[in-house]
A and B are shown apart, each in its own frame.
Chain A
Amino acid sequence: MAARPTFPAGLALDAHKQQACGTPIVELPLPPQVVLALDQGTGYSAEPVVTVGEAVAAGTLVAHAGHPYASAVHASLAGIVVAIETREAAVPSGRSVCIVIDGNASNRIDDSVRPVADLAALSPDELVQRLRDAGIAGLGGAGFPTATKLAYARNLGAHTLVLNGAECEPWICCDDALMRSAADDVVLGALILRRAASAERCVIAIEDDKPAAIAAVTSAIERLRDEALTLAVVPAVYPQGAERQLITAVVGVEVPAGGLPADAGVVCQNVATAAAVAHWATRGEPMLSRVVTVTGSGVEHPGNVRAPIGAPLAALIAASGGYRDTPLRLIAGGSMTGRALPSDEVGLTKSMNCIFVATRDDIGSRLEAVEVPCIRCGDCAGVCPAGLLPQQLLRAAHADAHDTLRQLGLSDCIDCGLCDYVCPSQILLADRFRDARRRLQEAAAMAQKAADARERHGLRKRRQQEAATAEQQTFESVRDRARRPDDDSAGDSN
Chain B
Amino acid sequence: MTELLLLALGASLVNNFVLSNFLGLCPFIGVSRRFEAAVGMALATLFVLTLASGLSFALWQWVLVPLGLEYLRTLVFILLIAGVVQFAEIMVRATSPLLHQLLGIFLPLITTNCAVLGVALLNVDRQHGLLESLVFGASAGAGFGLALLLFTALRERLDTADVPRAFRGAPVALVTAGLMALAFMGFAGLGAR
Chains A and B touch (C-beta atoms under 8 A apart): yes
Interface residues, chain A, with chain B CB atoms under 8 Å away: 373, 395-396, 398-399, 401
B159 at interface (Cβ–Cβ under 8 A)?
A: yes
Chain B: interface residue count, which band? under 10
Cα A399 to Cα B157 in complex, Å, equals: 11
Chain B residues near A373 (CB-CB < 8 A): 162
Do B160 and A395 touch (CB < 8 A)? yes
Residue of A nearest to B157 (CB): A395
Contact with A along B132-168 (1 / 0, CB 8 A): 0000000000000000000000000101101000000
6 further interface pairs, Cβ-Cβ under 8 Å (given A395-B157, A395-B160): A373-B162, A396-B160, A398-B160, A399-B159, A399-B160, A401-B160
Tell me, rounded to whole Å, the shortest Cβ–Cβ distance linking B153 to chain A. 13
Chain A residues near B157 (CB-CB < 8 A): 395
Interface residues, chain B, with chain A CB atoms under 8 Å away: 157, 159-160, 162
Chain A residues near B160 (CB-CB < 8 A): 395-396, 398-399, 401
A-B Cβ contacts below 8 A, count:
8
Tell me, rounded to whole Å, the shortest Cβ–Cβ distance linking A47 to chain B. 46
Cα A296 to Cα B113 in complex, Å, equals: 69
Tell me, rounded to whole Å, the shortest Cβ–Cβ distance linking A403 to chain B. 11
A-B contact pairs, 6 of them (CB 8 A): A373-B162, A395-B157, A395-B160, A396-B160, A398-B160, A399-B159
Residue of B nearest to A395 (CB): B160
Cα A287 to Cα B96 in complex, Å, equals: 60
Please give me the 4 A-B residue pairs with the lowest Cβ-Cβ distance, nearest first. A399-B160, A395-B160, A398-B160, A399-B159
Chain A residues near B162 (CB-CB < 8 A): 373
Tell me, rounded to whole Å, the shortest Cβ–Cβ distance linking A343 to chain B. 38
Tell me, rounded to whole Å, the shortest Cβ–Cβ distance linking A3 to chain B. 41
Chain A residues near B159 (CB-CB < 8 A): 399
Residue of A nearest to B162 (CB): A373
Cα A219 to Cα B119 in complex, Å, equals: 83
Cα A396 to Cα B162 in complex, Å, equals: 13
Cα A396 to Cα B160 in complex, Å, equals: 8
Chain B residues near A401 (CB-CB < 8 A): 160
Cα A401 to Cα B162 in complex, Å, equals: 16
Cα A373 to Cα B161 in complex, Å, equals: 10
Tell me, rounded to whole Å, the shortest Cβ–Cβ distance linking B178 to chain A. 23
Tell me, rounded to whole Å, the shortest Cβ–Cβ distance linking A355 to chain B. 40
Residue of B nearest to A396 (CB): B160
Residue of A nearest to B159 (CB): A399
Residue of B nearest to A401 (CB): B160
Cα A373 to Cα B160 in complex, Å, equals: 12
Cα A396 to Cα B159 in complex, Å, equals: 10
Tell me, rounded to whole Å, the shortest Cβ–Cβ distance linking B119 to chain A. 36
Cα A149 to Cα B157 in complex, Å, equals: 42
Tell me, rounded to whole Å, the shortest Cβ–Cβ distance linking B163 to chain A. 13
